């Protein structure tokens, strides 16, 4: 563990986590809406928005998978110190962090069961950019339609066909976040 492990958390945890929680849930409740979430300064390559998700939603009972280049000792130490979340293989994860390519194949993540659909994984996908353009989104939380730059559309279309099973996703870029729950209907642009 390095001294940097101890830094990068919320400066004022009660206030910062409440603000982050509001932005994160609003992003998931309104698919396609991009929110800003500040306060976390995790080690690279984790973005500040993904760091805020970790600080807000993870605890010692939340199994986490770090995919690809996100699986670094600095990031492992930071997550362990700040959240206590156990690090696990993809199949056991409640949350997974990584780039789109690193998270593939998606079928290694839990999609829940008919009895417990809430036991699905939430993917935190680090994006090179995040814009309200591209794929068309419809469904709960969207008035009419919304648009979001997705890394691919076919996996999200297939995910929706599994509803009420399937994964939920957050897309992050810098301090920006968008949510894409499994209930969202995705169409090509």
Give 30-70 pLDDT, tens digit per residue.
Answer: 999 999 999 999 999 999 999 999 999 999 999 999 999 99
Phi, psi of 135 (to 5 degrees): -60, 145
The C-alpha angle 179, 16, 68, rounded to 5 degrees, equals 50
Q: Quick one: pLDDT at residue 10?
A: 79
Alpha-carbon distance of 147 to 172, in angstroms, equals 15
Give the 3-state secondary structure of residue 12: coil
Q: Quick one: pLDDT at residue 127?
A: 98
Q: Quick one: pLDDT at residue 2?
A: 64
Alpha-carbon distance of 93 to 114, in angstroms, equals 18
**Confidence bin at 4 (pLDDT 50/70/90):** low
Give 135-163 pLDDT, tens digit per residue.
Answer: 999 999 999 999 999 999 999 999 999 99
Buried/exposed 13-35: b ≥16 CB within 10 Å, e otherwise:
eeebbebbbebbeebbebbbbbb
Q: Quick one: pLDDT at residue 12?
A: 83
Burial of 113 (0-12, 13-18, 19+ CB in 10 A): exposed
Q: Which residues lie closer than 8 Å to 88 by C-beta, 6 or more apart?
A: 63, 64, 65
- Under a CB-based contact definition with an 8 Å cutoff, are residues 49 and 25 in contact? no
For the chain, the average pLDDT equals 95
Question: Which helix H or strand E contains 97, and what residues bound it?
Answer: strand 95-99
Q: Can you tell me the mean pLDDT for 172-179?
A: 98
- Under a CB-based contact definition with an 8 Å cutoff, are residues 90 and 109 in contact? yes
Q: Which residues lie closer than 8 Å to 21 by C-beta, 6 or more apart?
A: 56, 57
Q: Quick one: pLDDT at residue 153?
A: 97
Tell me the whole-structure pTM to 2 decimals.
0.95
Q: Quick one: pLDDT at residue 1?
A: 60
Q: Quick one: pLDDT at residue 3?
A: 55
The DSSP secondary-structure symbol of 145 reads -
Q: Quick one: pLDDT at residue 7?
A: 75
Give 82-104 pLDDT, tens digit per residue.
Answer: 999 999 999 999 999 999 999 99
High-pLDDT (> 70) share of the chain, %: 97
Domain 12-181 in this protein, CATH class: alpha beta
- Under a CB-based contact definition with an 8 Å cutoff, are residues 167 and 67 in contact? no
Domain ranges of the chain: 12-181
Q: Quick one: pLDDT at residue 178?
A: 98
**Confidence bin at 189 (pLDDT 50/70/90):** confident
- Under a CB-based contact definition with an 8 Å cutoff, are residues 167 and 123 in contact? yes
């Amino acid at each position: 563990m390095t001294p940097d492990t101890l830094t990068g958390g919320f400066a004022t945890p009660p206030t910062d986590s409440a603000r982050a929680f509001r932005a994160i849930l609003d992003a998931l409740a309104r698919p396609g809406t991009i929110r800003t979430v500040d306060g976390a300064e995790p080690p690279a390559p984790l973005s500040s928005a993904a760091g805020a998700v970790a600080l807000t939603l993870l605890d010692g009972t939340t199994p986490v998978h770090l995919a690809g280049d996100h699986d670094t000792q600095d990031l492992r130490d930071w997550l362990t110190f700040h959240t206590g979340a156990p690090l696990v293989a993809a199949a056991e994860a409640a949350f997974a962090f990584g780039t789109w390519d690193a998270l593939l194949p998606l079928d290694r993540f839990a999609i829940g069961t008919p009895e417990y659909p809430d036991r699905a994984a939430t993917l935190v996908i680090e994006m090179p950019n995040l814009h309200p353009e591209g794929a068309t989104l419809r469904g709960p939380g969207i008035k009419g339609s919304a648009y979001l730059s997705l890394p691919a559309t076919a996996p999200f279309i297939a995910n929706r066909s599994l509803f009420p099973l399937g994964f939920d996703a957050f897309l992050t870029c810098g301090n920006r976040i968008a949510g894409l729950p499994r209930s969202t209907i995705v169409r090509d642009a």
